[in-house]
A = this chain, B = another copy of it.
Amino acid sequence: MITIKDIAKKAGVSRGTVDRVLHDRGKVAPEKEKKIRRIARELGYQPNIAGKGLAARKKHIKIGFVYVSSDQAPFHGVIYESALQYARQELQQYGVEVRFFPFDLKDYEENFREWDKRFIKVVREQKINGLAVVGMMGARLQQVLEKNGIVDLPFVLYNQDEDVKGKLAYVGCDYERAGRLACGLAALMTKNKAHVGIVSLDDGEMQSSVNRVAGFEAEIRERYPQIQIVEKYFTSNVRVMDELFSEVQQMMERHPDMDVLYLANPGDYSLCQSIRRSGRTSDIRIITNDLVTEWQREMVRNGTIDATICQEPEKQGIKPLEILFNYLALGIVPETEWYKTELSMRIGQNV
């Protein structure tokens, strides 16, 4: 294994100088620099991670993690728990500290000034070196930081992509592909001729949901001409849980041939239970997204939900921290701008 020491000896300089060249810090005489780079290349120098890891504690790295704390979003709960555990189990060993910034969607709209203020304060005082931010907040926070003179903070987004200055990477699934996968499942369930009702608990503007539906439709066009979407229903009014059910019932009455229901953004899964209890719909196949609570798992096990498409929430919590750690502590730039989480299909036998 080639070490920085080998390079230094061969180049007739000190390890410090080699380090400077390899990390573009400080000034080094041009000829020396060239020589060092050449030798490093020739020898095929690969920095040793264990060494870097040990030395990383000198950097006193601090990472901020912004996440959705609402109890209404168990999916984000899993993300947070995973991040927390990773921070404590792994990053702590390298002297890296992680500051968590919970925010509640509804609450934030009312008290964003206060939230922002506290956020800025902590980022500034604690000298945060990088941020992992849930998509949808990235651009907003970047703006807030800039307004307060904090620039050049590396960002990693997760769960939802955004175009943000300083973005190192995005960690999350391909929602369009998730929709395609749902369509493939619908095809599998119906010998390629499903009559699909799509229901989503959002206003029809939510990116994830929009992309899922788009993927579903694209797959119909490209592969399953016999599949029909009989109706789409979007609603963001969360107080109408029972009403939603009666809407779906009416939908099914309007389309007696409907045999697949795709919940693009199911929110509360109680709808599935209501449908099953209503009896006469027992042979409709229900496809949902995500699987985080034990209750949801149980619904898949007992057939209330026929299939569901998951997107690795754990990875969405861990990977952003890992990317930031690699970047800040080890100097490793992410290989890709988009770390795709795996889309896995779950049925009763593999929840």
Contact between A188 and B191 (Cβ–Cβ < 8 Å)?
no
**Can you list 18 A-B pairs with a CB-CB distance of less than 8 A?**
A1-B93, A1-B95, A46-B93, A48-B93, A49-B93, A51-B54, A177-B349, A177-B350, A181-B347, A181-B349, A183-B349, A184-B347, A184-B348, A184-B349, A185-B347, A188-B188, A188-B307, A345-B347
Name the interface size band of chain A: 35 or more
Task: Annotate A185-205 by CB proximity to B: 1 below 8 A, 0 otherwise.
Answer: 100110100000000000000
Contact between B306 and A50 (Cβ–Cβ < 8 Å)?
no
B-binding residues in A (CB < 8 A) = 1, 46, 48-51, 53-54, 56, 92-95, 177, 180-181, 183-185, 188-189, 191, 219, 223, 283, 285, 306-307, 342-345, 347-350
* Residues on B with beta carbons closer than 8 Å to the beta carbon of A348: 184, 223
Contact between B344 and A306 (Cβ–Cβ < 8 Å)?
no
Contact with A283, one of B48, B191, B345 (Cβ below 8 angstroms):
B191
> A269 vs B181: C-alpha distance in the bound complex, in angstroms?
24
Name 8 extra pairs, CB < 8 A, besides A185-B188, A345-B347. Answer: A49-B93, A50-B54, A54-B54, A177-B349, A191-B283, A343-B350, A344-B344, A345-B350
Chain B residue nearest in CB terms to A307: B188
> A183 vs B348: C-alpha distance in the bound complex, in angstroms?
10
Kindly provide the distance from the CB of A192 to the nearest chain B CB, expressed in whole angstroms.
9
> A143 vs B53: C-alpha distance in the bound complex, in angstroms?
41
* Residues on B with beta carbons closer than 8 Å to the beta carbon of A306: 188
> A94 vs B51: C-alpha distance in the bound complex, in angstroms?
10
Chain B residue nearest in CB terms to A95: B1
* Closest 5 pairs between A and B when the two form their complex, measured CB to CB: A50-B53, A184-B349, A181-B349, A50-B54, A180-B349
